[in-house]
Amino acid sequence: MINREDMLELTRRMTPARSSIGRIAGCYVDKDGDFDGSFNTNFLKLSSSERTKQLKTAKTILFSDTNVKLKKYELTPEMRKPGSMWQLLMAMNECGLKNDALLDTFYDIVMEKYPAGREYGILVYHGRYDIPAKASDKERLWESEEVYEYMICAICPLAGEYEPGEPECGFLFPAFTDRSGDLNHINVFQKDEKWPHKELLEILGLN
């Protein structure tokens, strides 16, 4: 189960003034399911209005109803073998989205499985969160206990020309469990829990 307080703690560090997100990458897909351009940039190089808009998209994943629209899935040892999606996500996270070849591989896998028929965008955010230690009375201390490196992916229909709309599905990797990075789990978002994008689970190797 996901503790909502963990998700809220992450979102508190996702504001234009003090965002833990440092990089954003993504690609656009046309209605035939074909690649239609990509980008990869330092998050701080975006305009203030664009940072605000992108943070809203990323936070949609974390703000969603925990254990209803945002669910935790275990990544078993079988799912973490060489050549797995887990290995690809780990490599993308470790390089901070700075390896375009890894990103292209990820986009290709998504485009192969995700249904065509309309234009959509695949957005990937990378962040680093210095998790502050807490005293026994739960008051925050200044020193950091752990640096949590994470990615948020949002798959969004396009609302205009290269203009992503509200995410339909996505994920947080690795999961953030008990205020710590959790490499054995991933949190998956589905906007419509009654009609989920099951292909995302297939992409992530979860079914």
Domain boundaries, the chain: 4-10+23-203
Question: By the 8 A CB rule, do 1 and 72 touch?
Answer: yes
Angle (CA) 153-207-21 rounded to 5° is: 15
Query: For every one of its 207 residues, what pLDDT tens digit does the chain have, with 9 covering 90 and above?
Result: 999 999 999 999 898 888 899 999 999 999 999 999 999 999 999 999 999 999 999 999 999 999 999 999 999 999 999 999 999 999 999 999 999 999 999 999 999 999 888 999 999 999 999 998 875 555 555 556 789 999 999 999 998 889 999 999 999 999 999 999 999 999 999 999 899 999 999 999 997
Q: Provide the CA 162 distance to its chain's centre, in angstroms.
A: 19
Report the SS3 class of residue 199.
helix
Report the SS3 class of residue 109.
helix
pTM of the model: 0.93
Question: By the 8 A CB rule, do 128 and 115 touch?
Answer: no
At 132, list the tokens. 């502050």
